[in-house]
Chain A
Amino acid sequence: MLARTGRRKPSTRSVWVVWIETAFEWVIRLCGISAILFVLGIFYFVFSKAAPIFFESEFSIAEFLFSTQWYPTSEVNVRYGVLALIVGTLSVTLLSMLIAVPFGLGAAIFVSEFCGPKLKESLKIVIELLAAIPSVVWGFIGLTVMKTIIEKTTGAEMGLNVLNGGIILALMSVPIIVSIGEDALKAVPDSYREAGIALGATRWQLVYRVLLPAAKTGLLAAVLLGVGRAIGETMAVLMATGHAVNIPGSLVDPVRTLTATIAAELGEAPEGANHYRVLFMVGVLLFTITFIINITADLVIRGIRRK
């Protein structure tokens, strides 16, 4: 059988078909490798723009990481401290995750396990629609609607703050958590569900004891993508957080994030100037933060698998 098809090959497939097939194989291989090349390329670009700053007397890495004084354009005393911006980014992200994770996972469980097929379809469409709203629009909602709501309900004097940014980011990451979380739950084989029901488990026991443990790596991935979205988001937080260099003492204090600082200041920083390099340094810092999160997540997932 094998030998016969082998002999038949040259007669049915002309030379150019074989060539094109090989060409396509290479194109696809290139597509796969390009992802790695792009990441390396971007990292090289960002780091090479930032690196010369290490040799400037104006800059010290300790000041950069541990000072809250961000005066990149000062005429009397330039200071590049991003601690307040790091705290700003982390506080907004943390708050958004506190809201988005329970909501997102809850919604994923509901969509996947508890609701009927019709409702499921319409819910999925609406959730995907939510994910497609551009971040400027979210920012605008934060700047107008959410600001007024926060001022009225919390009595805060200014509605552009950690709370506003956190809620907006949560709304933006929920759709991602829901759709990926739902996929993870769907991937659990039906035989698990059937076995659970056969053993007399209620629906809730089934979710809690069988599905969640079985889908936990996928659910973790969903949460991490949500975190990634929240940390990397720029436009919405630029508009909703108040953009004030400030270490927040409460939920209703304005803050500024790393991403928003790059967005707001890169346009004016002359190429090659110290300010420009420091902004790229902030980019390197963001890279490092996401890298650490991804590595931790990877280790956690491996840990879970080993169990």
Chain B
Amino acid sequence: MNANTQYNRSTTMAACLLAASVTLSLATFGCKKSDQAGGSTKKTVISVQGSDTMVNESQAWAEAYGKVDSTVSIEVGGGGSGVGIAALINGTIDIANASRDMKVDEKAKAKANSGKDPVEFTVGFDALAVFVHKDNPLTEITLGQLASIYAEGGAVTQWSDLGVTVPGCDGSIRRVSRQSNSGTYEFFREHVLNKKDFKLGSIDLNGSKEVVDLIGNTPCAIGYSGMGYANAKVKMLKVSMKPGEPAHEPSVANTLSKKYPIARPLFLYTLGQPTEQVKKYIDWILGPQGQKIVEESGYVPVPQKSAP
């Protein structure tokens, strides 16, 4: 009986030993392999994170730049302007994409963390379009109306308050908004709601494209997103500053002439003046090739001053 148990114990132990040694050898083998892989490629990695509005554009830049300079690999992440700026402050990335400017306290934090001031580059403009379902008869809206739909205490809750009946909808306005880590959310709050808070109960989505997709499938919905995300199932409203003033559609011309009231610059931020590869990359973005991608992604390029 006792001998039997002892036998069992030693076999179990042998199995354990075997397993442990296999794991160990695998682990060492794995390490060696990855070391070799790391040694053979000497790519400079530039990590970029931030605005969801800019993530497609940023990826297009990264891909195109890979063809220009094959020694650099660019990693692009989204998450929202706030996420990108927070990552820049913590020093985990090289460039933050932002669709709003850095707040004073964020700049102070970055300075305190790294000793360097963040540097801002304007790389394009985005007209923030107001979207409704394509069957919605509304064609234009004022900033005041938008504020009373979205802001806390605003009185407009029904489409009939705006003088329209929407086919396929029971009448109530379904507000589609963005999660609070989004630069689009902050920009809308600052420029449309005048820093007032959003009414609670809006459907808060994670990405620019999701907003437009949801509106395309929901007759009752209204929402805001970059004009680059427009598709055939939604309609962009013309926006006017005040009742009685002419409403303008979101377009490249209206954005540059500042007629369209809710357009915003798109920024890149770095900690301190960028150096070497990062500087080359940003210069390339500001140059004709990079700016062409801005236009192709549905945004408005920075007017070229005197091209060098």
B196 touches A (CB below 8 Å): yes
Q: Are B109 and A270 in contact (CB under 8 A)?
A: yes
A68 to B199, CA, bound (A): 12
Q: Which of B3, B197, B214 has the most CB of A within 10 A?
A: B197
Are A270 and B86 in touch, CB under 8 angstroms?
yes
**What residues on A are CB-neighbors of B297 within 8 Å?**
none
What residues on A are CB-neighbors of B180 within 8 Å? Answer: 72-73, 264-265, 268
Range class of the A interface residue count: 35 or more
With A68-B200, A268-B82 as known contacts, state yes or no: A157 contacts B169, CB within 8 Å: yes
Bound complex: CA A73 to CA B189 (Å): 11
Contacts of B221 in A (CB 8 A): 158
Contact pattern, B 162-187, Cβ under 8 Å of A = 1, otherwise 0 = 00000001101010000111000010
Assess A245 versus B200: contact at CB under 8 Å? Given A148-B217, A157-B172, A264-B206. Answer: yes
Closest residue of chain B to A68 (Cβ to Cβ) is B200
A160 within 8 Å of B by Cβ? yes
**Cβ B17 vs Cβ A160 within 8 A:** no
Residue among B79, B197, B203, B204 making CB contact with A267, cutoff 8 Å = B79
- Kindly state whether residue B89 has any CB partner on chain A within 8 Å: yes
> Would A267 and B86 be within 8 Å (CB), given that A20-B13, A157-B172, A243-B204 are in contact?
yes
Which residues on the B side are within 8 Å of A72 (C-beta)? 180
Q: Is the CB of A158 within 8 A of B197?
A: no
B residues near A77, Cβ cutoff 8 Å: 197
Interface secondary structure of A, over-half rule: loop
Does A153 sit within 8 A of B, measured CB to CB? no
| Chain B residues positioned under 8 Å from A21 (CB to CB) | 9, 13
Complex Cα–Cα for A70 and B204 (A): 13
**Residue in A closest to B174 when the chains form the complex, CB atoms:** A158
Instruction: Judge whether A262 is part of the interface by a CB distance below 8 angstroms.
Output: no
Complex: how many Å from CA A53 to CA B23? 45
Asked whether any CB of chain B lies closer than 8 Å to the CB of A238, the reply is: yes
CA distance A151 to B170 in the complex (A): 13
A199 touches B (CB below 8 Å): no
Task: Report if A66 contacts B (CB, 8 A).
Answer: no
Q: Is A103 an interface residue (CB 8 A)?
A: no
The 3 closest A-B pairs by CB, nearest first: A268-B82, A268-B181, A267-B83
Q: 26 A-B contacts, Cβ less than 8 Å apart? A: A2-B2, A5-B2, A17-B13, A20-B13, A21-B9, A74-B197, A76-B196, A148-B217, A157-B219, A158-B174, A158-B203, A158-B220, A158-B221, A160-B214, A239-B206, A242-B203, A243-B179, A244-B201, A244-B202, A244-B203, A245-B201, A254-B203, A267-B80, A267-B83, A268-B181, A271-B90
